[in-house]
Structure 1
Amino acid sequence: MAEWCFASADAQRTEQGDENQKPKSAPDVADCSSREFSDQKRLEMSMREFVDHWVGNSSNGDSDGSLLYLKDWHFMKEYPAYVAYTTPTFFADDWLNMYLDSHPIHRDSDIANHANEINCADYRFVYMGAKGTWTPLHADVFRSYSWSANVCGRKLWLFLPPSQSRFVFDRNLQSSVYNINDDVSEKQFPEFNNTEWLECTQEQNEIIFVPSGWYHQVHNLEDTISINHNWFNGYNLHWVWNLLHEDYKVAKYYIEDIRDICDDFEGLCQRNLAANTGMNFYDFFVFITRFALANIIELYHIQNPKESALSSTETANHFIYNLMSIRNVASKMISTEAFNTENICNISEQNRSAFSDIIKILEEESFRRLLVALSEAYNYINRGQRDCLKMRDSNQKGCLSVTCLKSDCNVVGHITSFMREIHGPVDLMRKVKHQSLTNICIGDSDNVLNDM
C-alpha cells in the first residue's frame, strides 16, 4: 500500500494552492457528537468546507466541539481518470461494483431518481476523519463483505460475530445498540451483556476484511484517511437475499392493513423495500440474471483451452460455483409473492425487459461492459498463474467474450438454443442448470452434477 499514500502531500498542495483546485463535491459528512434516529446526524457541507474545517481545527490544535467525519465519498466514481489505487487481488471478485459501473441499480422509473442514483453510484468510498471520529455499531449494507485500507492514521475496530448479533437488539428485534461504549440499558437490550467482542487496532498501510453479517463499531485513534469497499459475489450472495427477504417481510407488515384498498400492493412493498434497503426483489433478480448469463458465456469459452485466454480448471470451477450460487438463490425466490403469476404480470416494463429478453440483453453495450469487467477480474485474480490476458475486441470478431480466441464463435446461438426468454426464477434455474451441465467438461463434474 505504500504507493497509495498520496494523501498528505496532495492534501497540503490542495490546501495551499489555487482555490479552484479544491474538490467541489458534496459528500456525506457525519457529526459524530450528534445522534439522529439510529445514526449520526448528517450535515450539508461541500468538500471544500469540510477540508477547511478539518485543517482549521488541526492548525489550532483544538476543536470547536464538533467532530466531523466525511463518509461514503464516491471518489472513484467522481474522479475515474485519477487512478489512486488498485483493488487488492483478494477483493477483486466484486460483482456489486462491476455491475454498477455499467448498470443502474434500479430500473423502475417510480424508484429511480437523480439523488437515488448518486447514492447508489457505487460502493467504493473514501473516509476522512479527525482523531475521535467514529462509526456507530452496524452491519454492512446488503450484508456485503467489506474491506477498509488505512492510507494514513489508525483505527480501533470492535467486532461481533453473526452468531451473537441477536444480543445487540431489543426484545422485538426492532432497534439495535447505537454505541457499545455507552451505558447500555439492560431493560431495553436484555442480552447485551452476553456479547463477546473481538478488538483489533488497524495501523497505516493495513487492510481489514469484514465478513458478511459481522456487526462492528470503528473509532479513529488519529487523524485518518481510509479507502472502503462493500462488495458481494457468489460466495455471499445468499446473505444479500436473506437480508432482502427479511426486510421485505418488515416492509409488508407495516402496510398490510391497506392491502385490500391498494391497486398494486406488491409494487408498493417493493418500492418501500428499495427505499429502505437499497434494492428490491426485482432489482436483485435483474442483477443475478445478468451475472448468470455472463458466467455462462465465460464458462462456454473456457471449456476448451484453445478457445479462451482464461482457460483453467480453477477458473472454470469458479464460474460453475457462481452459477450454483445463483441457482440456489433463485430457488428461494420462487415461493415469494413477488414472483407469483399475477405479480409477474404487473412488473414494470423497465424491469421485465431487463431480465426477460436474452437476445436483447446480449446486444446491450452495458452487458458487454459487464462481461469485460468479469473477464478482467478473473484474469487479475489468476495473474500469478499466467501471463497478463490480451483482451480482444468482441465486436470485431463477432463474439461477446473478449477472452474468446475463435474467429467464428457461436456463443449467442449456444446461449439461446435452450431458452430465449426468462420470465422468473423458475426459468432462471432451468437456464443455469441446462447451460452449466452442457458446459461442464473439466473439473470435478460428478460432484457438480450432484449439487445442481
Structure 2
Amino acid sequence: MSLKIGGQIEKVNGRQLSYSEFAEKYLAQNQPVLLTGLMDDWTASKHWVSANAQPNLLFFSTHFGKSKVQVADCDTREFTDQKRIEMSVSEFINHWLQGSRESVLYLKDWHFVKEYPEYQAYITPRFFTDDWLNIYLDNYGMHVDPDTDQVNNDICCSDYRFVYMGAKGSWTPLHADVFRSYSWSANVCGRKKWLFLPPQQVNLLFDRHEQLLAQYGTKLVNMKNTVYDIFDDISEIKFPGFKKAIWLECTQDQNEIIFVPSGWYHQVHNLEDTISINHNWFNGYNLSWVWDLLLRDYKEAKEYIEDIKDICDDFEGLCQRNLAANTGMNFKDFFIFISRLSLANVVELYYLRGESSSESSIWHCSAIVKHFALNLASIRKIALKMKSEAVQGNFGIINLWETLSDPKFIKLCAGLGRIYSVVHEEENWSCTVKKVLMADFEKYGSQVCSPEDLVTFIDHAVSELSSNCNEQSTLLSVLYEIQPRQQK
C-alpha cells in the first residue's frame, strides 16, 4: 500500500544545539528530530562495529554470549506484536551468521545497562539526561502487584534502557511507546527507515468496528485493534480512515540519534544489519501527555468491561489491574511516582538554598533552580487535573518522614542532582543529599494521600523556600506562571 508522505524529519547537528533550544523546540513542542555529532566518543561505536562498518558479532558472542534475551520473530505475528522467543546472545548470533531463511530474528529490549553496569558502552546525550523514568526505576518498581509473581514481568522491569540488534530486513510493527513516553534511538551500526504518524491522526489507525472481548477476572483487556503493518493491504472496512493518514519519514544512518516524541506512532525497518541503543523516558515536559493518555486508556478499558460491573465485587480494582497490564502502571503507580518526584525536587531546592552563601544569590538567574521549579509546576498541573477530573481509584499514601529516611529515596535525590548538574553543565555543583526541610514541615503534616494533598504540599514547600528570600519571584513566578506555557 502506498503511503502519503507529508515530509521528512528535520536533521540537526547536536553539537551546535543548546539544551534550552532542544527543550523549547522539540521537547515542549513534542516534535521529532534526527541528531548528529553526539556519538563520536562512545565505546560502543568502537567495540561493536568491525573495520568494514558491519556489526562486530564476534565481540558480542565473546563478551556477552551467555546473556538471556528476548528475540522477536519478524515473520510471525502474535496478537498485536511479533512472537517472542528467549535465547542466549550466542544462539542469536549463530542464527544471524547462518543466514537462516526460515525466519528473520530481531533482538529487542535487552536490558544491557542493568546487566553490565561496569561496561560503559555510551554516555547518554545531555538532551536526554533529564530522565525521570529510569532514575526512578533504578530505585523503585513502577507497578507492584502482590497477586502475581513479577520476577520476569515486564510491567515491573528494572529500567527502559535497551540494546537492539537485527539483520537487514528485521523490523518493528506500528506502535506508540510504553507509558506514551519519549524515546531516543542511537544507531551504533547500520541504517533504519522510520515512518511516523503524529498524535493528531492516530484515530485513523484504530479498528472501530470489530467487537472487542474481555474476560472477567483477567489481568488483560485487549483495548482495541490497531494497524499492525502499514505496508499491508489495510481493510477499508475495519480502518476506514487509514488512507487519509499523512506520514513523516526518516532514514537514520550510523552514528545518528532520533528523538521520538510522546504519542507518535511509528514503524521501523532495518535497511542494513543494525545495532542500536534505545531509551524510553519522560520528564516534566511530557508528563501531561503521559497522564492524558493513561486516563484515556483507563476510560476505554472501563467502557469495554462495563457489562460485568454488576457482578464484579471490585470493579474499580479490576479496571486498575487491566490499566496496569496494558500501559505498565495504574493511577496509584502514577500518583506515587509523581509524589516521590515532587518531594525529591523539593529536597534538592532545600539543599541548594542551604548550600548557598547568599540566600538571594542562589535563586537569582539560577538555571537549576528554575528547572526544579518547572518540574514542580508540571507535577502540580497534573495533580490539579487529577483533582478536577474526579478520577477514581486508590492513590496510595506517601509518608514524608518515612520517605526522607528511605535509602532508596536518598539515592533518587542524589541521582536527580547529578542529572541537572549535567543538563546545566554545573560540574562543581554538589549532589550530596542531606536531610532537610524537617523543621519547615513540622506544621504541615506527614502524609500525601490525594492529588489535593500533593498540590497543598507543593504550595507549602515553595512558600517555605521563598520566605525570607529577596528573590521570591524566581520560584513563585516559575511555579505559577509557567503553567500557561505548558503543552495541553
Q: Say yes or no: does 1:71 pair with 2:108.
A: yes
Query: Distance between the aligned counterparts of 1:114 and 1:374, measured in 2?
Result: 27
Q: SS of the residue aligned with 1:218? A: strand
Deviation at 1:439, TM superposition (A): 2.2
Q: SS of the residue aligned with 1:27? A: strand
Aligned with residue 11 of structure 1, among 42, 57, 61: 57
Structure 2 match to 1:279 = 329
Aligned with residue 289 of structure 2, among 226, 230, 239: 239
The CA deviation string for residues 89-146 of structure 1, in whole angstroms up to 9 with x for no partner, is 0000000000000111123412562122686211110000000101111111111000
Q: Say yes or no: does 1:369 pair with 2:411.
A: yes
Query: Distance between the aligned counterparts of 1:148 and 1:180, measured in 2?
Result: 21
Query: Distance between the aligned counterparts of 1:253 and 1:228, measured in 2?
Result: 34
Contact kept in structure 2, 1:234 and 1:326, CA below 8 Å? yes
Query: Distance between the aligned counterparts of 1:122 and 1:22, measured in 2?
Result: 19
Matches within 5 A, 1:324-403: 324-334=377-387, 339=392, 344=394, 352=396, 355-383=397-425, 386-392=426-432, 394=433, 399-400=434-435
Contact kept in structure 2, 1:24 and 1:47, CA below 8 Å? yes
Structure 1 match to 2:219 = none
Q: SS of the residue aligned with 2:367? A: helix
Query: Distance between the aligned counterparts of 2:342 and 2:301, measured in 1?
Result: 28
Structure 2 match to 1:318 = 371
Structure 1 match to 2:440 = 414
Deviation at 1:231, TM superposition (A): 0.3
Q: Which is worse superposed, 201-210 or 312-321?
A: 312-321
Over 3 Å counting, the alpha-carbon distance change for 1:111 and 1:418 in structure 2 is farther
Overall identity of the aligned pairs, in %: 52
Structure 1 match to 2:79 = 37
Structure 1 length normalisation: TM-score? 0.85
Matches within 5 A, 1:26-65: 26-57=68-99, 63-65=100-102
Query: Distance between the aligned counterparts of 2:473 and 2:348, measured in 1?
Result: 14
Query: Distance between the aligned counterparts of 1:252 and 1:387, measured in 2?
Result: 48
Over 3 Å counting, the alpha-carbon distance change for 1:13 and 1:302 in structure 2 is closer
Structure 2 length normalisation: TM-score? 0.79
The CA deviation string for residues 192-218 of structure 1, in whole angstroms up to 9 with x for no partner, is 111111111101000000111111111
Higher helix proportion (structure 1 or 2): 1
Structure 2 counterpart of 1:327, one-letter code: R
Which stretches in structure 1 are left out of the alignment for 5+ residues?
58-62, 401-409
Q: Which is worse superposed, 286-295 or 111-120?
A: 111-120
After TM superposition, what 4+ stretches of structure 1 lie above 4 angstroms from structure 2? Answer: 307-312, 335-339
Structure 2 counterpart of 1:97, one-letter code: N
Matches within 5 A, 1:126-137: 126-137=163-174
Q: Say yes or no: does 1:81 pair with 2:147.
A: no
Query: Distance between the aligned counterparts of 2:362 and 2:263, measured in 1?
Result: 33
Query: Distance between the aligned counterparts of 1:13 and 1:302, measured in 2?
Result: 45
Deviation at 1:48, TM superposition (A): 2.0
Deviation at 1:14, TM superposition (A): 4.7
Deviation at 1:303, TM superposition (A): 4.1
Structure 2 counterpart of 1:374, one-letter code: L
Matches within 5 A, 1:429-448: 429-440=455-466, 441-443=472-474, 445-446=476-477, 448=479
Contact kept in structure 2, 1:437 and 1:449, CA below 8 Å? no
Structure 2 match to 1:407 = none
Q: Which is worse superposed, 415-424 or 121-130?
A: 415-424
Which stretches in structure 2 are left out of the alignment for 5+ residues?
1-38, 51-55, 210-222, 467-471, 484-488
Contact kept in structure 2, 1:69 and 1:128, CA below 8 Å? yes
Deviation at 1:451, TM superposition (A): 5.9
The CA deviation string for residues 134-184 of structure 1, in whole angstroms up to 9 with x for no partner, is 111111111100000000000011111111111222335932211111122
Aligned with residue 149 of structure 1, among 183, 186, 192: 186
Which of 1 and 2 has higher RCO (CA within 8 Å, sep 6+)? 2
Structure 1 counterpart of 2:128, one-letter code: F
Query: Distance between the aligned counterparts of 1:224 and 1:318, measured in 2?
Result: 36
Q: SS of the residue aligned with 1:70? A: strand
Deviation at 1:70, TM superposition (A): 0.6
